[in-house]
Chain A
Amino acid sequence: MDSMAAATSSSVPASGLTTVSVKSSKPLKEKTTKAERRALQDAQRAASKGASLDVFILALHVGIISCLYCVLSAEGGKAPLYDDESRVVKAKRRAVVKQTEAKNRVELFRHLPQYEHGTQLPDLETKFFLLDPMHPAVGLQYLSGDISGGNARCIAMLQAFQEVVKDYSTPPEKTLNRDLTAKISSYVSFLIECRPLSVSMGNAIRFVKNRIAKLPIMLFESEAKAALQSDIQRLISEKIVAADKAIVRHAVTKIRDGDVLLTYGSPSAVEMVLLQAHELRKKFRVLVVDSLPKLEGQLLLRRLIKRGIDCTYTHINAISYIMHEVTKVFLGASSVLSNGTVYSRVGTACVAMVASAFRVPVLVCCEAYKFHERVQLDSICSNELGDPNVISKVHGRGDINYLDGLTNNANLQFLNLMYDATPSDYISMIITDYGMVPPTSVPVIVREYQKEHLLV
C-alpha cells in the first residue's frame, strides 16, 4: 500500500519533520511554529505508544500539514534575503530561467533581486518546448509584462493551476498530496523567477496548498482532482469576481452627481466602479493621473473614453495643480497590510499625501483576499525592482536621450521601484467585499478571514 510505504519513507516524524524534502526555492526555516510543535508531540506520543496504522497516518497528516505551514509561510510572506550569499547560490542552482545580475545595483536595495531583464525572455523562449508543457506560458506573460495587476495575475495563475491539476496523474509509489504539492511548488518557483509574487498570488498559493493538504487520503484520484478544481474555481468566483461586485455596489453609493474623481494608474476595481456609476447615469468627471515608466493610466483612459466618460489626463507631478478641483480620490491596492499600510503601485503614496494635504477624502478599493498579516513601515524593506533600462530610455520620446551611453558608468544608477507603502493616516476608508472599513480594521478582518479560510 502506498500509504504504508509513505509512512515508512517519511521516517519517524519526531526527528526529521522540518526537513522533509519538499521542493521550494527557499530553504525551510529552522524554527518550528506552535502547530508544528504540537504535531511533533502528538507524533511522538503515537510512536511511543506502539502505534497502530491509523495513528501513524494521523500523525503523518498532522506532520505534513505542519511542515507545509512552514513551507507556506516561507513562501507566502517572508521577505527574501538576497543579501545572504549561500541562499542566493542555492537558488541559482535550482533556477530554470538563467538570471544575470545587474551590474550597477543600488546599495539601499541590496536585499532585493535586481536582474538584467533583457536576457531572460529569449533564453526562456529557447527552452519553451523542453520544459513541462503547462507552466511556461503564464511565466512568459508575466515576464514580458502582458499580464499585470494583482487580480489578473492571480486569476491567470489559478487557471494555470487548474490545468495542471487536470493533466496530473499520480506517479506510482507517491501520494497525490505530496507529489502535487511538490509540483505546484516547482511551478511557483518558476513563476517567481519570472517575476516576484504579488501578495494576492501568495495568498492564493497558500489556499491551494492548503486544499491539497486537506484532501482525504482515501479519495480516488479523479475525485480528488475534481474537488481541487472546484475549490480553485470557487476561490476565483467568490473571492475575486464576487468580491469585485460587492466592492462596486458599496463604492457607487459614494459617488454623487457633480463629483470630480481622481484615480491613479489602472486599478481594476476602480475601473469597474467608475463604469458602473456611469451606467447608473451619475454625472461625474474623472481625472486620470499617470506616471512613468509604465504609463498604465493610458490604458484606463482609453477604456473610459470609449464608454463616454469625461476625462482629464495628467502626470503625477501636476497633482498639486489639479487637486484643488478634486472631490474624491479612488485608489487601488496590491495589498493592505496589518498596520493599515496600503501597499500598491509606486506613486500612490504621493497621490494620497497630496490629497490629504488638500483635505480630499481618499478611498481605497481592495478585495479581502489581498489582505496580509505582515506589517511594513516604509517602502524600502520589501519591494520589487523593475528594469532599470526603462528609465534611461524613455518610451516614445526619442528626443530624450541624455543618458545614452552612461548606463555602465559606475557613478550612475537607476532605480525603478514597482511598489510603495502608503501610511494609513492618509487613507480615509477601505472598500472591501466585507464592507467599508477604516484602515485600522484590517487586522481584524485578517484574523477572521484566516479562520474562515482554513475551516472552509
Chain B
Amino acid sequence: MPDVQSTVLEFVNKLRKRKIEGSQATAKCTVELLRSVISQQRVPHSNQASALIDAVKAVGEQLVAANPVELAVGNVVRRVLHIIREEDLSLATAAMAGLDLLDASDDDGEDDNCKVVGYSAMSAAVAAAAARSTLRPPSLQTLLEGTPESAAVPYTSSSGADSESKSKSADKSSITRKLKHDVIEGVNHLILEISGCHEQIAEQAIEHIHQNEVILTLGSSRTVLEFLCAAKEKKRSFRVFVAEGAPRYQGHLLAKELVARGLQTTVITDSAVFAMISRVNMVIIGAHAVMANGGVIGPVGVNMAALAAKKHAVPFVVLAGSHKLCPLYPHNPEVLLNELRSPSELLDFGEVSDCLDFGAGSGSPLLQVVNPTFDYVPPSLVSLFITDTGGHNPSYMYRLIADYYSADDLVM
C-alpha cells in the first residue's frame, strides 16, 4: 500500500495548492484515486464492508481537508461510500435469501449456539431487509408496524452474515471477492456518469431554447458551452451576452469558444448586467456546487444577475452535473464556503503605496481589498435546475440526495 499512500499524498498536495481547476476534473481524479485505494485495500473475511468504508473515509477526510471549498471532492467521497454500503446490503440480502433455504433444510444437525446465532442472524437479516426500506420510500405496512432501529442494522447483518461464514466458509470466500468487485464496478459506473454529464445536460438544450432568443451568461462553464452549442446544432438561432466576470475574466474565454463555434456573442461588462437584462430572455449559468436546500454556489457576480433576473421576471436556469449536488445545508455560505483570492488581481500595491502612511501606531488607515471567488444564490431566485437526470425545481433537490448519499456519511 505504500504507493497508494504516495499517490494520495500527491493528490492532497495538488488540491491544497489549487492545481486542479474545475469540479468535473477534481471529481474524476478523486474517484480514480478512491478506486485504486479500494482495489489495493486488503479486506479481512469479516466485516469487509466496514473495512472498505474506513479506508475510504480516512482518505476522504484528508482530501476534504486539503480543499474544503471544492465541494465536489466531498460529494464524490460520499458517493463512493454510499456505493459500498449499497453493494454490501444487496449482497447481504442475496445471501440471506440463499441461506433461508439452507437453514430450513438442516435444522437438526446444528449446535444450539449456532442455531441461536443463526436465528439471531436471520432476524437481524429480516430487520436489515426491513431497514433497507428506510432507504427507499417506506411502505404503509412498515410505517404502521413501527420501523426497526436505524441503519446501524446493516452492520449487524454483515456481522451476522460473517458468523454464518465461519460455518459456510466456502460460500463466503466467493462473496468476499464479490463485494470488492461490485464496488469497483459501481465506481466505474460513477466515473462514466461524471464524464458524461455534459452530454446528458446538453441533450435537454433543445427543450429550453427557441428561435430568436437572447441569453445572458456569466463566467466560463463547459456545461454552458456544450448546452448552447447543442442548441445551435439543432438550428436554433439565438444571441448570447457574456458578462466579463472580473477579475478573472472567464467571460472572455467563454466568448472566444462561442465565437469559434459560430454563435453571435456580445461581451458586456459586469456593471451592465442590470442595464441589459430587460432585453434578455433567459439567464443560464453553470454552478460550482448545489446545496441541499437548492441554493447555488457560483462564480462571483451570479447573485447580482439572479436578483436582476428576478426583478425582470427572466428565468434563471442553473446547469449542474450530479457530482455537484452536495448533501450539506449552507450555513453562512458567503463566508464559510468562499475563498478569497489575491488582492493584486484588483489593485496593484504600487498604485496606492504612496498614499498609505505606515507610521507605527499612529492610527494610520489600513486599506483592505476584498476579492471573493464564489457567490451564493438562495433557492428562491432559481427557476430551474438542469441536471443529467432532467429538469428539477429547487425545492426538489433535497430528494435527489437520498438517491445518491447515505445518511451516515454526511459528517465525515
Residues of A within 8 A of B375 (CB): 317, 320-321
Q: Write the A412-446 contact mask toward B (1 if CB under 8 angstroms, else 0).
A: 11111100110000000000000000000000000
How would you classify the secondary structure of chain A's contact residues: helix, strand, loop or mixed? mixed
B352, A301: Cβ atoms under 8 Å?
yes
Does any Cβ of B come within 8 Å of A106's Cβ? yes
From A290, A308, A346, A357, contact of B307 by CB (8 A): A357
Does any Cβ of B come within 8 Å of A261's Cβ? no
> Which interface class (under 10, 10 to 19, 20 to 34, 35 or more) fits B?
35 or more
Q: How far is the CA of A201 from the CA of B264 in the complex (A)?
A: 37
Q: Which 6 A-B pairs have the closest CB atoms?
A: A347-B271, A317-B301, A379-B275, A320-B303, A420-B275, A349-B274
| Residue of A with least CB distance to B365 | A310
Residues of A within 8 A of B268 (CB): 415, 417
| Residue of B with least CB distance to A317 | B301
Q: How far is the CB of B296 from chain A (nearest CB, A)?
A: 12
Known A308-B364, A309-B365, A346-B272; contact A412-B338, beta-carbon cutoff 8 A: no
A411, B269: Cβ atoms under 8 Å?
no
Q: How far is the CA of A402 from the CA of B301 in the complex (A)?
A: 21
Q: How far is the CA of A133 from the CA of B263 in the complex (A)?
A: 49
B352, A305: Cβ atoms under 8 Å?
yes
Q: Write the B101-133 contact mask toward A (1 if CB under 8 angstroms, else 0).
A: 000000000000000000000000000000000
Does any Cβ of B come within 8 Å of A268's Cβ? no
A321, B255: Cβ atoms under 8 Å?
no
Does any Cβ of B come within 8 Å of A122's Cβ? no
Q: How far is the CA of A345 from the CA of B275 in the complex (A)?
A: 11
From B269, B367, B368, contact of A346 by CB (8 A): B269
B278, A353: Cβ atoms under 8 Å?
no
Q: How far is the CB of B264 from chain A (nearest CB, A)?
A: 6
A106, B307: Cβ atoms under 8 Å?
no
Q: Write the B149-184 contact mask toward A (1 if CB under 8 angstroms, else 0).
A: 000000000000000000000000000000000000
Does any Cβ of B come within 8 Å of A293's Cβ? yes
Q: How far is the CB of B251 from chain A (nearest CB, A)?
A: 9
Interface segment, one of B3-11, B51-59, B242-250, B389-397? B242-250
Known A313-B347, A321-B375; contact A413-B267, beta-carbon cutoff 8 A: yes
Interface segment, one of A34-42, A64-72, A208-216, A390-398? A390-398
Q: Which A residues have a C-beta under 8 Å from some C-beta of B?
A: 106, 108, 290-293, 298, 301-302, 305-306, 308-322, 324, 345-347, 349-350, 353-354, 357, 378-380, 383, 391-392, 394, 396-397, 400, 402-403, 406, 409, 411-417, 420-421
A349, B275: Cβ atoms under 8 Å?
yes
Q: How far is the CB of A439 from chain B (nearest CB, A)?
A: 17
Q: How far is the CA of A47 from the CA of B287 in the complex (A)?
A: 77
From B278, B347, B365, B371, contact of A378 by CB (8 A): B278
Residues of B within 8 A of A301 (CB): 347, 352, 367
Residues of B within 8 A of A391 (CB): 244, 267, 269
Does any Cβ of A come within 8 Å of B348's Cβ? yes
**Which residues, 331 to 364 on B, are CB-close (under 8 Å) to A?**
334, 338, 345-348, 351-352, 355-357, 364
Residues of B within 8 A of A378 (CB): 275, 278
Residues of A within 8 A of B311 (CB): 353
Residues of B within 8 A of A397 (CB): 249, 345
Q: Write the B247-289 contact mask toward A (1 if CB under 8 angstroms, else 0).
A: 1010011011011001111111111111110110000000000
A411, B347: Cβ atoms under 8 Å?
no
B308, A292: Cβ atoms under 8 Å?
no
B246, A317: Cβ atoms under 8 Å?
yes
From B259, B364, B369, B376, contact of A412 by CB (8 A): B259
B246, A311: Cβ atoms under 8 Å?
no
Residues of B within 8 A of A306 (CB): 355
Q: How far is the CB of A322 from chain B (nearest CB, A)?
A: 6
Q: Select the residue from A312, A317, A354 with max chain B CB neighbours within 10 A.
A: A317
Residues of A within 8 A of B68 (CB): none
B338, A321: Cβ atoms under 8 Å?
yes
Does any Cβ of A come within 8 Å of B290's Cβ? no
Residues of A within 8 A of B372 (CB): 318, 321
Besides A315-B246, A320-B304, A415-B268, 18 more A-B contacts (Cβ < 8 Å) are A292-B244, A298-B352, A312-B367, A313-B346, A320-B375, A320-B376, A321-B370, A346-B275, A349-B274, A378-B275, A380-B276, A380-B279, A383-B275, A402-B253, A403-B252, A403-B256, A411-B259, A415-B272
B352, A312: Cβ atoms under 8 Å?
no
Does any Cβ of A come within 8 Å of B366's Cβ? yes
Does any Cβ of A come within 8 Å of B386's Cβ? no
Residues of A within 8 A of B348 (CB): 396
A380, B278: Cβ atoms under 8 Å?
yes
B347, A298: Cβ atoms under 8 Å?
yes
Q: How far is the CB of A174 from chain B (nearest CB, A)?
A: 46
Does any Cβ of A come within 8 Å of B300's Cβ? yes
Known A311-B368, A312-B368; contact A402-B252, beta-carbon cutoff 8 A: yes
Known A312-B367, A318-B371, A380-B278; contact A402-B249, beta-carbon cutoff 8 A: yes
B334, A324: Cβ atoms under 8 Å?
yes
Report 22 cross-chain contacts, Cβ distance below 8 Å, ordered by A residue.
A106-B266, A108-B279, A292-B246, A313-B347, A313-B369, A317-B300, A347-B270, A353-B304, A353-B307, A354-B304, A379-B274, A383-B275, A392-B252, A397-B249, A403-B256, A409-B259, A411-B258, A414-B266, A415-B266, A415-B267, A415-B276, A420-B271
B265, A412: Cβ atoms under 8 Å?
yes
Known A317-B245, A354-B304; contact A403-B267, beta-carbon cutoff 8 A: yes
Q: How far is the CB of A335 from chain B (nearest CB, A)?
A: 16
A318, B300: Cβ atoms under 8 Å?
yes
Q: How far is the CA of A324 from the CA of B303 in the complex (A)?
A: 13
A392, B275: Cβ atoms under 8 Å?
no
B275, A380: Cβ atoms under 8 Å?
yes
Q: How far is the CB of B266 from chain A (nearest CB, A)?
A: 4
Q: How far is the CA of A293 from the CA of B274 in the complex (A)?
A: 16
Q: How far is the CA of A409 from the CA of B274 in the complex (A)?
A: 26
Residues of A within 8 A of B307 (CB): 353-354, 357
Residues of B within 8 A of A316 (CB): 246, 270-271, 301, 304
B365, A402: Cβ atoms under 8 Å?
no
| Residue of A with least CB distance to B381 | A357
B366, A350: Cβ atoms under 8 Å?
no
Q: Select the residue from B263, B278, B338, B365 with max chain A CB neighbours within 10 A.
A: B365
Q: Select the residue from A108, A347, A411 with max chain B CB neighbours within 10 A.
A: A411
Q: How far is the CB of B60 from chain A (nearest CB, A)?
A: 29
| Residue of B with least CB distance to A409 | B259
Known A311-B368, A317-B246; contact A420-B272, beta-carbon cutoff 8 A: yes
Residues of B within 8 A of A347 (CB): 269-272
A400, B274: Cβ atoms under 8 Å?
no
Q: How far is the CA of A403 from the CA of B255 in the complex (A)?
A: 8
Q: How far is the CA of A315 from the CA of B351 in the complex (A)?
A: 16
Known A402-B253, A412-B259; contact A392-B274, beta-carbon cutoff 8 A: no
Residues of B within 8 A of A298 (CB): 347, 351-352
Residues of A within 8 A of B357 (CB): 308
A411, B256: Cβ atoms under 8 Å?
no
Residues of A within 8 A of B244 (CB): 292, 391
From B265, B271, B338, B370, contact of A312 by CB (8 A): B370
B264, A411: Cβ atoms under 8 Å?
yes
Residues of B within 8 A of A315 (CB): 246-247, 270, 346, 371
Residues of B within 8 A of A313 (CB): 346-347, 367-370
Q: How far is the CA of A380 from the CA of B280 in the complex (A)?
A: 12
Q: How far is the CA of A445 from the CA of B400 in the complex (A)?
A: 57
Residues of B within 8 A of A108 (CB): 279
| Residue of B with least CB distance to A423 | B311
Q: How far is the CB of A250 from chain B (nearest CB, A)?
A: 26
| Residue of B with least CB distance to A302 | B355
